[in-house]
Chains A and B, each alone.
Chain A
Amino acid sequence: MNNIVNFLSQLGASSQSLTQDQIIELAGEHQLSEQEIQAVLERDHQKIAELLNARTNVCGLLLPAEDDEDAEDDSSREEEIAA
């Protein structure tokens, strides 16, 4: 596992609220580079993703079920009125 991914995963699993000094110490234990530590301290998702060569343009969306055929098939429900 990449060092920074491993670091973030372990930090998440530990559920700890760390000070900046503690984060730097933990990052050192995970052998993060200076650039990686800087990106972590700045909470810069874009930079972390770039350093990982990960996707930087990510779309996470919700889609409600108002167009769901389950609802369309359910004749017991009255039709929703569009405003």
Chain B
Amino acid sequence: MNTIGQNMEQKKTQGRLVCVGLGMTLGAHITPASLKQIESADVVFIGASTGIVEEWVKSINPNTISLQPFYQGRNSRKETYAQMIEAILEQVRLGKNVCGAFYGHPGVFALAPRKAIKQAREEGYDAYMEPGISAEACLYADLGLDPGATGCQQFETNQFMFYNRQVDIASLLILWQVGLAGDKESSNFSTTRESLQQLVDKLVEYYPPTHRAIVYEAKLLAIDTIRQEEIELRNLPKAELNMNSTLVIPAYKRLIDLKL
């Protein structure tokens, strides 16, 4: 066998990991590069937003394993993600061409893909990420907001609530996963009125209670409509929120020109 052939043979048996993004809306957002990775993988691990998306990926590559069963125990999500990473790497160590397919962008607010890639590289395997269209990208398109206009701050809601984060009220503020507000231990799948009131109490340190925010949800299927519901901050505890709800808070003050 010549050198090129030997190298190819070596790579084939070495195992590799590519984490790809599926985008938010089934069929609408996946890139040709990500699709190719799913089609050509020996095994695909999928972290999707709906069971319908899981079936779509299975139709592209029947050797697809759902990561959902890992959520079913009573572990904290940190433990859950550690188990997911181990399951993915186990297949890489067996010499397989492994694809991790995750909804949205696999590197945005996504611990498992990033850590799996890091660990695979540390163990000497070829591992990288293909970007996807994230909820953030959809938000800018659907709500007609440009983060460049005022600047943009964004936090996972619980990080915002439980750590000392400073808000710039002249910029756009996005709070992800507001439907899990108050889940400090990362072990619940919903929020409570009390937790949302706690979040409002923190926000009204910066904004008037009547400041209007937007509850946003991206389309998961092409037949869906986006959720774009205006709400006064003080009414947030009464809002119906889901796991995929995002709170978007427009700038409250104009930019101040520092004429030095």
Contact = CB atoms under 8 A, between A and B. Distances in A.
A65 B111 CA distance: 7
Interface string B42-84: 0000011111101110010000001010010000011001000
Interface in B93-137: 103, 109-112, 114
B163 A49 contact: no
B121 to A, nearest CB: 13
Most buried by B among A52, A58, A62: A62
A52 B51 contact: yes
Contact of B25 (A1, A12, A62, A81): A12
Given A54-B51, A54-B55, A8 B26 contact: yes
A57 B68 CA distance: 9
B163 A82 contact: yes
Contacts of A14: 222
Most buried by B among A52, A61, A65, A66: A61
Contacts of A67: 78
Contact of B110 (A2, A55, A58, A62): A62
A80 B26 CA distance: 38
Interface residues on A, range: 35 or more
B156 A58 contact: no
A60 B52 contact: no
Contacts of B49: 58, 60
Nearest to A16: B222
B200 interface: no
Contacts of A43: 221, 223-225
B201 to A, nearest CB: 11
B195 to A, nearest CB: 14
Contacts of A56: 51
A52 B48 CA distance: 16
Interface string A1-18: 110011011111111000
Nearest to B77: A63
A60 B55 contact: no
Contacts of B222: 8, 11-12, 14-15
Given A58-B49, A67-B78, 9 more contacts: A8-B221, A43-B223, A55-B51, A56-B51, A59-B71, A60-B47, A60-B243, A82-B163, A83-B163
Interface of B: 25-29, 47-52, 54-56, 59, 66, 68, 71, 77-78, 81, 103, 109-112, 114, 155-156, 158-159, 161-164, 176-177, 180, 186, 189, 202, 220-225, 243-244
Interface of A: 1-2, 5-6, 8-15, 23, 40, 43, 45, 48-49, 52, 54-68, 80-83
17 contacts: A5-B52, A5-B56, A10-B27, A11-B27, A11-B222, A12-B222, A45-B220, A52-B55, A60-B50, A61-B71, A61-B180, A62-B177, A63-B77, A63-B112, A64-B155, A67-B78, A82-B163
